[in-house]
Amino acid sequence: MNYGCVPSKSLIHVARVAQQARDAARLGLLPIGLSIDMARVSQHIQEVIWRVAANEQVYVEGVTVRFGNASFASPHELLLNGKRFTSRNIVIANGLHPLIPSIEGLEEVGYLTNEDVFDLRHLPASLIAVGGGPIG
């Protein structure tokens, strides 16, 4: 949630608003020199993440989170690190970590992942996205 859907949708929203401001000239509205303050955009994204996380708290009250190796013993029994858990409902959230591709020269030029791109303080002159799906 903090590194995917919520921040990417927030950034897309900001980009759409910026594009609408640029397109306003076609309607006869002359925009005042639109510039982008990435530090404030990043702050906005972090605030959206915080608000969503705060609103999600009601859904995780009373939820127990455990980490480890899991397998199902039956549709309602889970073995986690050798310990048996029984529940009507079981949610497995396997998390997300970026895969850094093995591209020659990548380390030297630097790169961003979904875990740090939303913290940019300056708009890059150019950017290449490697990957697919909503996060890419």
DSSP calls for 5-26: HHHHHHHHHHHHHHHHHHHGGG
Measured CA to CA, the distance from residue 129 to residue 136 in angstroms comes to 6
**pLDDT tens across 72-129, in order?**
999 999 999 999 999 888 887 776 778 888 889 999 988 888 888 888 888 888 888 8
Mean pLDDT of 128-133: 75
Q: Predicted confidence band at 47 (pLDDT cuts at 50, 70, 90)?
A: very high
What is the pLDDT at residue 51? 93
What is the pLDDT at residue 97? 78
Q: Predicted confidence band at 31 (pLDDT cuts at 50, 70, 90)?
A: low
User: Alpha-carbon dihedral of residues 116, 117, 120, 124, nearest 10 degrees?
Assistant: 140
Integer-rounded Cα radius of gyration of the chain:
21
Give the chain's mean pLDDT.
85
Q: Predicted confidence band at 133 (pLDDT cuts at 50, 70, 90)?
A: low
Pair 89, 75: CB distance under 8 Å: no
Evaluate if pTM is beyond 0.85.
no
Pair 76, 88: CB distance under 8 Å: yes
What is the pLDDT at residue 50? 92
Scored b (16 or more CB within 10 A) or e, 31-49 reads eeeeeeeeeebbebbeebb
